[in-house]
């Protein structure tokens, strides 16, 4: 990223975006006018001139922006305008823009390009960045792009691609600067001065032995504050935080958060340095996790493009919709089994959704707490026992209290003491179900190697609905009819 | 943070935590034994010796850990063990540990301390860190601690506390290094060598004029790569990203993410440098936002301590529980209005929750998408219109499809064509309600200056439940009876 690119303040960015959208919309209108007035060649020429001028204006505007801002603008444009804007991004900047763009829009943009076009665009990027982009492409297309790269790039990209998706290896940066233990700081300073630039987010040099094994790190701070005559090994940090290529990204994120790291070396199983990870990648990882959490809870796994074709989005939602329908059907059959009692006491039909709803609501609160506990790694066996007993206490307190409130409301409406008692008891029992399900559903998903967030809210509601109806109607069948 | 503190790998940390919990539990048992065998003085002495030895062992273990790891351990301990462990943290390290700990646990720990004790603990911290801790305390206690600090600290802390809670000013670091434009790099290097250490997360020096106005930044990279004879103004970045004290933290977070910043200067309205913000504070801010999002969606606002007293947590959940009960009551009254029809056709009672449930499920998916769009600042007027029409298209596709599936299932169960048609139509209509409510609820919350996430899922379900019951039963009343 050159320093001359404009980094826009939030308010200015919004302005710039609106301007660009405005220009693009006007262009579309002009084009329409041109095509309508095809007979009239004079108007045609004028309109074309205006359009070309606006085009040039837009292209220049986009060229001045930071790639991240261009990405942001592309993400917020509807598909037709987005494609027009993409055409105006200068070819040599396209790779940098693609790196900043979200998955769904990335796929939409690359979907229309031929392998050799994609290869030409990504060629200017670092090999780890190329690998990152390729993982977003369909396997076949990704291979076709790969074979069109330079031989050296190919090898490096392949090596990055060989690491599992959620491993530190897959997100590391291959670019690092290393020095030897026995060098003097003076020599290191000279070495640096011969470089044109340093790898981004560099705050430390990696100290390796001849075999490439990690010996320590030399922070730029230590380098600047110490006397130049001293040797690297006297001022370096000999026990830095480092990661293995196979470590989980989540663990690296936790370490960066806790120890306020800027960058850290990545080593292979022989403790040879193979790369480093930097805080900007960590920030991206946290952000991705944060953005997708509430989506996953309602069963949306794919990062959905706000403007993906509606049919595609509709299909995306089918699996969990089908599951929801199935579980709702089960709940409906539970009620069906008690139809005889409902006919005798129709008030039951009106009251039963309340029991289900209050269970769903409190159960989802428990789910949210458990998911957070799991994400923070705070639920060991001891804590789990504590949490279980606490959620049951809360369910007992709230079930008794709000069950009574609901009982009194029922009494006021239907003037039947037994009915009031049954609904109060049903609320308490269903809150116990909600507490148990709220803790167990995310834990069970995790135990079976699934994402504890994915669809947890759908599953919880299924539990509390069916059980809520069952408890209430069964109690009614026993005590009321 | 001294370099000698151990930074633990995830796996080791879990081990250490289990060991400490284990030791603390054993201690509790020993204490009980001692109190039971109070007559027998010989056993008493032995038990006390064992306990003291374990105490010393624990204290040493904790002293070797990074403050962030100590905080993590304290967070995962139940209250009694936590207090015992807190007593073993050396006084001079307590401030650093408190900075890393979550809100709920912080309050629990500080709640038991007197103002002069707290003042003694925080005295070793930087003034911005002291301010951060004081904002977590009750106003009165915070004032009492404040007056017990040194005069200089007091002034600085008060100035930080004067910034609004979500402003860059409230999270900035007051510690920065500045140089003049006309200094030579050689002079800057000499200046640095006279320092004992640099402020944390430093990657650039701030270039100011005599009046303290921001002129640019000099990155350590530029300093290291350029010839020492050159002047600061020739190699500095003259238009760096900077923030005003009044800028929103959210905007700073966005800028750090987009431009991969490590630190940035903070200026007052006269563009005089008053501090800087660093990426570690930004990582904390992102993380806090991420952790609280799914909690807020179900109406849990306070960062809840996993081990806060159950009664307190139960009360925390009352406001939204009450709202949920109220809206469920409304839904129940909707059904109550149709009791006459349900008595005539009891199948309605069994089928109606399906219509409500599928509406709630798909509506919550829309809510999750809109909340993400809002968080990413991607919903301008143009995008909103697009999104609205897209969600309606999806609702139409999925409503027709899954409404038909449900209609066929109903036909198979009850052999009544009209009933099947009514439920299919009701599903489609309720999905339209869900699409509209899913977009409008978060937007309306935001328009009225509320948090668009807070309770959105509770409100959505209220809508889709009531409307689902109403649509289905009203259609049945018109077409079936």
Q: What is the CATH number of the domain that holds A197?
A: 3.10.580.10
CB atoms within 10 A of CB B297: 30
pLDDT at B183 over 80: yes
Q: Is residue A373 included in any domain, yes or no?
A: yes
Average pLDDT for residues A196-222, to the nearest whole number? 89
A311 CB within 8 Å of a chain B CB: yes
Q: Which of B171, B187, B220 is the last residue of a domain?
A: B171
Say if the Cβ atoms of B287 and A257 lie within 8 Å: yes
Q: What is the CATH number of the domain that holds B149?
A: 1.25.60.10
Mean of all residue pLDDT scores within chain B: 84
Mean of all residue pLDDT scores within chain A: 84
Q: Is residue B299 included in any domain, yes or no?
A: no
Check whether residue B328 and residue B251 sit in a common domain. no
A318 CB within 8 Å of a chain B CB: yes
Q: Is residue A311 included in any domain, yes or no?
A: no
pLDDT tier at B5, thresholds 50, 70, 90: very low
Check whether residue B324 and residue B471 sit in a common domain. yes
Average pLDDT for residues B99-126, to the nearest whole number? 84
Instruction: Quote the CA–CA distance of A129 and A153 in Å, as a whole number.
Output: 11
pLDDT value of residue A359? 93
Q: Is residue A193 included in any domain, yes or no?
A: yes
Contact B362, B439 (CB under 8 A): no
Chain B residues in contact with A254 by the CB 8 A cut-off are 10
pLDDT at A208 over 90: yes
C-alpha separations of B144 from B93, B138, B148 in Å = 22, 10, 7
Contact A176, A273 (CB under 8 A): yes
pLDDT value of residue B308? 66
Average pLDDT for residues B94-108, to the nearest whole number? 85
pLDDT at B302 over 60: no
pLDDT at A418 over 70: yes
Say if the Cβ atoms of A7 and B255 lie within 8 Å: yes
Task: Please report where in the chains the tokens 């640099």 appear, as a residue.
Answer: B198
Contact B22, A382 (CB under 8 A): no
pLDDT tier at B392, thresholds 50, 70, 90: very high
Contact B372, A287 (CB under 8 A): no
| Higher local confidence (pLDDT), A39 or B117 | B117
Q: Which of A126, A142, A166 is the last residue of a domain?
A: A166
Chain A residues in contact with B196 by the CB 8 A cut-off are 225
pLDDT at B216 over 90: yes
Contact B473, B340 (CB under 8 A): no
**What's the gap in Å between the CA of B68 and the closest CA on chain A?**
6
Residue B194 burial by Cβ neighbours in a 10 Å radius (0-12, 13-18, 19+)? exposed
Average pLDDT for residues B400-418, to the nearest whole number? 93
What is the token pair recorded at A309? 């074709």
pLDDT value of residue B305? 53
pLDDT value of residue A355? 94
**β-strands B204-208, B178-180 pairing:** parallel
pLDDT value of residue B214? 95
In this structure, what DSSP letter does residue A114 have?
A: -
Instruction: Quote the CA–CA distance of A306 and A314 in Å, as a whole number.
Output: 12
Average pLDDT for residues A462-470, to the nearest whole number? 93
What proportion of chain A, given as a percentage, has pLDDT over 90? 30
Q: Write the pLDDT tens digit of every residue in A153-196.
A: 888 889 888 898 889 998 898 888 999 999 999 999 999 988 88
In this structure, what DSSP letter does residue A205 have?
A: E
Q: Write the pLDDT tens digit of every residue in A79-108.
A: 777 888 888 888 888 989 998 887 778 888
Average pLDDT for residues B456-481, to the nearest whole number? 91
Check whether residue B138 and residue B163 sit in a common domain. yes
pLDDT at B291 over 50: yes
What's the CA angle centered on A375, arms A371 and A378, to 5 degrees?
Answer: 95
Nearest to B18 among A314, A347, A380 (CB): A380
Q: Is residue B113 included in any domain, yes or no?
A: yes
Is residue A355 helix, strand or coil?
helix
pLDDT value of residue B2? 36
CB atoms within 10 A of CB B322: 12
What's the total number of domains in chain A?
A: 3
Nearest to A201 among B72, B260, B298 (CB): B260
A264 CB within 8 Å of a chain B CB: no
Instruction: Quote the CA–CA distance of B274 and B245 in Å, as a whole number.
Output: 8
Average pLDDT for residues B387-396, to the nearest whole number? 89
CB atoms within 10 A of CB B269: 8
Is residue A471 helix, strand or coil?
helix
pLDDT value of residue B251? 84
pLDDT at A428 over 70: yes
**What's the gap in Å between the CA of A59 and the closest CA on chain B?**
21
pLDDT value of residue B1? 35
- Checking A263-267 for CB contacts under 8 A at 24+ apart, the result is A263/A201, A263/A202, A263/A203, A263/A204, A264/A240, A265/A176, A265/A206, A265/A214, A265/A217, A265/A240, A266/A168, A266/A169, A266/A172, A266/A242, A267/A214, A267/A242, A267/A243
Task: Identify from A80, A99, A221, A454 which residue to disrupt to test chain B contact, counting B C-beta atoms within 10 A and taking the largest count.
Answer: A221
What proportion of chain A, given as a percentage, has pLDDT over 70? 88
Q: Is residue A291 included in any domain, yes or no?
A: no
Check whether residue A99 and residue A184 sit in a common domain. no
| Residues 6+ positions from A361 with CB-CB distance below 8 Å | B298, B299, B320, B321, B324, B458, B461
Chain A residues in contact with B320 by the CB 8 A cut-off are 361, 365
Q: Is residue A300 included in any domain, yes or no?
A: no
Task: Please report where in the chains the tokens 């930080």 appear, as a residue.
Answer: B160
Ranked by mean pLDDT, the top range of A20-34, B7-21, B169-183, B302-316 is B169-183
**What's the gap in Å between the CA of B467 and the closest CA on chain A?**
13
**What's the gap in Å between the CA of B314 and the closest CA on chain A?**
5
Check whether residue B224 and residue B140 sit in a common domain. no
| Higher local confidence (pLDDT), A207 or B134 | A207
pLDDT at B479 over 80: yes
pLDDT at A2 over 50: no
C-alpha separations of B109 from B23, B74, B92, B141 in Å = 20, 10, 16, 14
Q: Is residue B297 included in any domain, yes or no?
A: no
Which range is least confidently modeled, A20-24, A339-343, B167-171? A20-24
Q: Write the pLDDT tens digit of every residue in A52-87.
A: 777 788 888 888 888 888 888 888 777 777 888 888
**What's the gap in Å between the CA of A276 and the closest CA on chain B?**
16
Which range is least confidently modeled, A96-105, B32-41, B269-278, B432-441? B32-41
CB atoms within 10 A of CB B53: 10
Check whether residue A127 and residue A236 sit in a common domain. no
Check whether residue B71 and residue B216 sit in a common domain. no
| Higher local confidence (pLDDT), B303 or B226 | B226
Task: Identify from A372, A387, A388 which residue to disrupt to test chain B contact, counting B C-beta atoms within 10 A and taking the largest count.
Answer: A372
Average pLDDT for residues A430-435, to the nearest whole number? 95
Q: What is the CATH number of the domain that holds A417?
A: 1.10.357.20
Task: Please report where in the chains the tokens 């076009």 appear, as a residue.
Answer: A117
Strands (DSSP E) found in A220-330: 243-244, 263-267, 273-278
Check whether residue A96 and residue A72 sit in a common domain. yes
Say if the Cβ atoms of B224 and A469 lie within 8 Å: no
C-alpha separations of A311 from A307, A315, B132, B383, B430 in Å = 11, 6, 49, 18, 19
Check whether residue B188 and residue B164 sit in a common domain. no
Instruction: Please name the helix (run of DSSP H) or strand (run of DSSP E) that holds residue A219, with its range, or none.
Output: strand A214-219
Domain that holds residue B127: 10-171
pLDDT at B12 over 70: no
Contact A282, A312 (CB under 8 A): no
What proportion of chain B, given as a percentage, has pLDDT over 90? 30
Check whether residue A352 and residue A475 sit in a common domain. yes
Contact A390, A407 (CB under 8 A): no
Contact B202, B284 (CB under 8 A): no
Number of H helices, E strands in chain A: 23, 6
Strand order in the sheet with B263-267: B243-244, B263-267, B273-278
Ranked by mean pLDDT, the top range of A215-219, B63-67, B98-102 is A215-219
Give how far the C-alpha of residue A298 lies from the chain's centroid of Cα atoms, to the nearest Å: 14
Say if the Cβ atoms of B346 and A351 lie within 8 Å: no
Beta bridge partners of A173: A276
pLDDT at B3 over 50: no
B408 CB within 8 Å of a chain A CB: no
Task: Please report where in the chains the tokens 């109406």 appear, as a residue.
Answer: B299
Q: Write the pLDDT tens digit of every residue in A249-291.
A: 888 888 888 888 889 999 999 999 999 999 988 888 887 776 6
pLDDT value of residue B301? 57
Average pLDDT for residues A333-347, to the nearest whole number? 90
What is the token pair recorded at B204? 């650039």
Say if the Cβ atoms of A332 and B311 lie within 8 Å: no
Check whether residue B183 and residue B127 sit in a common domain. no
Chain B residues in contact with A74 by the CB 8 A cut-off are none
Find the length of chain B: 481
A 94-123 residues inside an 8 A Cβ radius of B? 100
In this structure, what DSSP letter does residue A164 have?
A: -
Instruction: Quote the CA–CA distance of A143 and A134 in Å, as a whole number.
Output: 8
Average pLDDT for residues A439-446, to the nearest whole number? 90
Check whether residue B210 and residue B232 sit in a common domain. yes
Q: What is the largest CA-CA distance in chain B?
A: 96
Contact A99, A133 (CB under 8 A): yes
Which 3-state string (H, E, C) describes chain B? CCCCCECCCHHHHHHHHHHHHHHHHHHHHHHHHHHHCCCCHHHHHHHHHHHHHHHHHHHHHHHHECHHHHHHHHHHCCHHHHHHHHHHCCHHHHHHHHHHCCHHHHHHHHHCCCHHHHHHHHCCCCHHHHHHHHCCCCHHHHHHHHCCCCHHHHHHHHHHHCCCCCEHHHHCECCCCEEECCCEHHHHHHHHHHCCCCCCCCCEEEEECCCCEEEEEEEHHHHHHCCCCCEHHHHCECCCCCEECCCEHHHHHHHHHHHCCCEEEEECCCCEEEEEEEHHHHHHHHHHHHHHHHHHHCCCCCCCCCCCCHHHHHHHCHHHHHHHHHHHHHHHHHHHCCHHHHHHCCHHHHHHHHHHHHHHHHHHHHHHHHHHHHHCCCCCHHHHHHHHHHHHHHHHHHHHHHHHHHHHHHHHHHCCHHHHHHHHHHHHHHHHHHHHHHHHHHHHHHHCCCCCCCCHHHHHHHHHHHHHHHHHHHHHHHHCC
What is the token pair recorded at B31? 């204490």
Q: Write the pLDDT tens digit of every residue in B351-362.
A: 999 999 999 988
Q: Which of B235, B269, B286 is the last residue of a domain?
A: B286
Nearest to B295 among A3, A321, A368 (CB): A368
Say if the Cβ atoms of B394 and A314 lie within 8 Å: yes
């Amino acid at each position: 990223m050159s320093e001359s690119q404009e980094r826009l303040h939030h308010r200015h960015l919004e302005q710039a975006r609106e301007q660009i959208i405005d220009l693009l919309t006007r262009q579309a209108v002009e084009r329409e006018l041109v095509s309508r007035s095809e007979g009239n060649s004079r108007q045609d020429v004028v309109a074309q001139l205006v359009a070309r001028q606006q085009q040039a204006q837009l292209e220049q505007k986009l060229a001045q922006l930071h790639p991240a801002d261009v990405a942001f603008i592309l993400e917020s444009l509807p598909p037709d305008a987005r494609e027009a804007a993409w055409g105006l991004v200068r070819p040599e900047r396209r790779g940098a823009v693609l790196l900043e763009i979200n998955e769904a829009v990335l796929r939409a943009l690359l979907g229309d390009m031929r392998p050799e076009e994609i290869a030409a665009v990504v060629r200017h990027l670092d090999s780890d960045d190329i690998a990152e982009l390729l993982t977003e492409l369909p396997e076949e297309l990704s291979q076709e792009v790969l074979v069109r790269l330079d031989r050296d790039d190919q090898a490096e990209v392949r090596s990055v691609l060989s690491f599992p998706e959620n491993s530190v290896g897959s997100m590391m940066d291959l670019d690092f600067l290393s020095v030897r233990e026995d060098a003097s700081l003076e020599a290191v300073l000279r070495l640096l001065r011969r470089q044109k630039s340093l790898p981004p987010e560099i705050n430390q040099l990696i100290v390796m032995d001849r075999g490439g094994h990690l010996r320590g790190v030399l922070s730029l701070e230590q380098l600047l504050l110490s006397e130049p005559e001293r040797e690297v090994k006297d001022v370096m940090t000999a026990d830095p935080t480092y990661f293995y290529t196979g470590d989980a990204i989540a663990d690296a994120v936790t370490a960066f958060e806790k120890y306020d790291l800027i960058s850290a070396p990545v080593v292979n199983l022989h403790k040879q340095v193979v790369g480093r990870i930097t805080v900007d990648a960590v920030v991206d990882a946290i952000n991705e996790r944060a953005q997708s959490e509430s989506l996953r809870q309602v069963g949306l796994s794919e990062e959905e493009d706000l403007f993906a074709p509606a049919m595609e989005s509709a299909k995306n939602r089918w699996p969990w919709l089908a599951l929801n329908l199935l579980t709702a059907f089960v709940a409906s059959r539970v009620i069906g089994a008690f139809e005889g009692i409902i006919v005798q006491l129709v008030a039951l039909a009106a009251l039963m959704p309340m029991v289900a709803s209050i269970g769903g609501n409190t159960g989802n609160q428990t789910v949210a707490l458990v998911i957070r506990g799991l994400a923070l790694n705070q639920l060991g066996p001891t804590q789990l026992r504590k949490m279980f007993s606490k959620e049951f206490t809360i369910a007992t307190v709230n079930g008794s209290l709000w069950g009574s409130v609901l009982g009194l409301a029922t009494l006021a409406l239907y003037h039947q003491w037994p009915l009031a008692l049954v609904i109060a008891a049903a609320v308490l029992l269903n809150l116990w179900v909600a507490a148990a399900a709220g803790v167990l559903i995310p834990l069970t998903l995790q135990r079976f190697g699934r994402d504890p967030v994915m669809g947890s809210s759908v599953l919880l509601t299924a539990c509390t609905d069916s059980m809520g109806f069952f408890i209430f109607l069964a109690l009614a069948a026993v005590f009321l009819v």
